[in-house]
Amino acid sequence: MPVAESFDHTSRRYSQDLERVRWQVLEMGRLVEGQLRRSLKALIDGDRALGLSVASEDSTVNAMEVAIDEHCSRILAIRSPTAGDLRLIIAAIKASSDLERIGDECQKLGYISAKLATLERPSDHYGEIERLGELVLAGVHGTLDAFTRMDAALALDTARKDRAIDELHKAIQRHCVGEMPLHLTSLDRLLETMWTAKLLERIGDHAKKICEFVIYVALGRDVRHMSLDDVAGEIARAAERSRREQ
């Protein structure tokens, strides 16, 4: 095989390896997004069987994280990626770790949904939890979209929405604490509701972390310990440099 042809083949295979990493992360992300959606449905509908079914899927998520780590390790060992390619590999490893933790939280949500299905339902049918779940689902979906496009601006916009999740989580906690002295016979339900809100808030945090790694890939800058306003400034400056270079 001529040298040029061999180089083209190697380069094409390398590009395919990188694309496979992206695809694996997104496949894992869609799986945990589906887990989250179904665990919320189990809670709202009082579907014990569905809750237990979601909880049983955690081993699949764990296996996907291991597969991504192994694939990334092979690329690091064989290809020695640099610059943007190296950042993509690092982000894939970090993102799969956060997705695995989202899967863990969904497993817990599945078990809680199964338990709550056996208890008396509140008059609002978990309306606030449903609203919080919708915010978290939107955050996870936006995060996966940002990862698909490696879009720093979209990642920042999604990360900003985590504040609304935090605020609603705190409101639910305050409400449940206030209800406890008035409804002593409903303590189990109120405690599980508080735990559900906390799990959803954690999922929002994991999604936000993935957004930070999208920005890292796009800008080449670690923004994990920067304020969102400072991150916005970095994105604006990068966009301006790009315009000048065109």
Neighbouring residues of 84: CB distance < 8 A, sequence distance ≥ 6: 217, 220
Do residues 48 and 118 lie in contact, with contact meaning Cβ atoms separated by under 8 Å?
Answer: yes
Residue 121 DSSP class? P
Could you say which DSSP state residue 122 is in? Answer: P
d(CA 222, CA 205): 17
The values of phi and psi at residue 124, to 5°, are -90, 5
**DSSP secondary structure, 75-118, as one string:** HHHHH---HHHHHHHHHHHHHHHHHHHHHHHHHHHHHHHHHHTT
Burial of 161 per CB tally in 10 Å (0-12, 13-18, 19+): middle
For the beta carbon of residue 215, count every other beta carbon within 10 angstroms.
28
**Cα(62)–Cα(60) distance, rounded to whole angstroms?**
5
pLDDT tens, position by position, 146-168:
999 999 999 999 999 999 999 99
The torsion defined by the Cα of 15, 140, 145 and 51, in degrees rounded to 10, comes to 80
* 3-state DSSP of 158-201: HHHCHHHHHHHHHHHHHHHHHHCCCCHHHHHHHHHHHHHHHHHH
CA 242-245-246 angle, to 5 degrees, is: 90
Q: Can you give the residue ranges of every domain in the chain?
A: 3-245
Tens-digit pLDDT string for the chain (246 aa): 454 444 455 678 888 889 999 999 999 999 999 999 999 999 999 999 999 999 998 999 999 999 999 999 999 998 888 888 999 999 999 999 999 999 999 999 999 999 999 988 887 778 999 999 999 999 999 999 999 999 999 999 999 999 999 999 999 999 999 988 988 888 899 999 999 999 999 999 999 999 999 999 999 988 988 999 999 998 999 888 878 887
CA atoms 40, 41, 42, 44: torsion sign:
positive
> 43, 189 in Cβ contact below 8 A?
no
Structure tokens at 37: 């959606």
The three-state secondary structure class of 16 is helix
Assigned architecture for domain 3-245:
Up-down Bundle (1.20)
What is the length of the chain? 246
